Structure 1
Amino acid sequence: MNVVEKILTLEHTETVRLDPDRLSGLYRQLGDKSALDVLCRTVEELAVRLSNCERFWRKRDWDNLRKCSKSLVAIADQIGMTALARVANDVAQSVDAGDAVAAGATLGRLIRIGERSLTAIWDQQDLSV
């Protein structure tokens, strides 16, 4: 019988990229109160869509996974979440390629980046409830 002496745990860490110019432009264009309202609604919508993407993947609903990830690209890009937008596009491309394994892997990455991005934007804007 073999005995395992060491078990390694891989920890995935993702770099979050926020475009501060995009956020500043939003505040300049809408004003503080309106921009904060838009940002709060957007953060909530991103969280819902991330959850939907995971649900669609589990159901193997490729059409809706593709649509949902593409909608994440547009929303994330509007508020300067560049890494989130890029990886959401990668999910859509994996679906388009018919590669379920790649779609699952990139979706896992999307969720990790999504969670960190939402936390970063929340902390940066002090969106306390």
Structure 2
Amino acid sequence: MDPAPLRTLFAALPDHEAEDIVCRALEDIAAKLDYLQNGRTTGAFSEISAPAKRLAAVAEQIGLTEVALVARHSSNAAEMQCGVALGATLARLERAFDAAVSHVWDFRHYSH
């Protein structure tokens, strides 16, 4: 995690507004991750790459560098239409996202 985007966000806005933005970003990532998993389950490789790239962009905006990296790897696996690689990268993406959520809230707790 790169804490710089969160520091900038919380320095520029009142805490409640910054927290709303972070919550919306995390909810957006979670929804996109669910969409990617559904696409993998149905074998819709062509419907996975673009949402994975959008997920990466949202993650980068709030400093979730590992999540962004793995989302791009998931996009690549979908473009290659490799079900094994896609399954592995999406599982890694879920783990990275779960860890990132904890890091974001730990950051908020310890930054005050």
Quick check: 1:51 aligned with 2:34? yes
Which residue in 1 is equivalent to 2:45? 62
Task: Tell me the alpha carbon deviations over residues 86-124 of structure 1, each in whole angstroms, 9 at most, x when there is no partner.
Answer: 000000011112222111111111111111112321343
Q: Which runs of 5+ in 2 are unaligned?
A: none
Runs of 4+ in 1 over 6 A off after TM superposition: none
Structure 2 length normalisation: TM-score?
0.87
2:73–2:89 contact (8 Å) kept in structure 1:
yes
Q: Counterpart of 1:94?
A: 77
1:81 maps to 2:64 = yes
CA distance in 1, matches of 2:38, 2:64: 22
CA contact (8 A) 1:50 1:114 kept: no
- Aligned counterpart, 1:106: 89
Give how far 1:59 is off.
Answer: 0.9
- Select the structure with the greater relative contact order (CA < 8 A; seq sep ≥ 6): 1
Q: CA deviation at 1:43?
A: 1.3
Residue number in structure 1 paired with 2:17:
34
- Aligned equivalents of 2:98, 2:48: Cα separation in 1: 18
Number of residue pairs the alignment of both structures matches: 109
Q: Greater helix percent: which structure?
A: 2
Q: Which moved more, 1:104-113 or 1:80-89?
A: 104-113
Summarize deviations over 1:32-65 as a string: whole Å, max 9, x none: 2221110111111111111111111101111221
Counterpart CA distance in 2 for 1:80 and 1:41 is 14
Question: How far apart are the structure 2 equivalents of 1:51 and 1:122?
Answer: 21
Offset, 1:68: 1.9
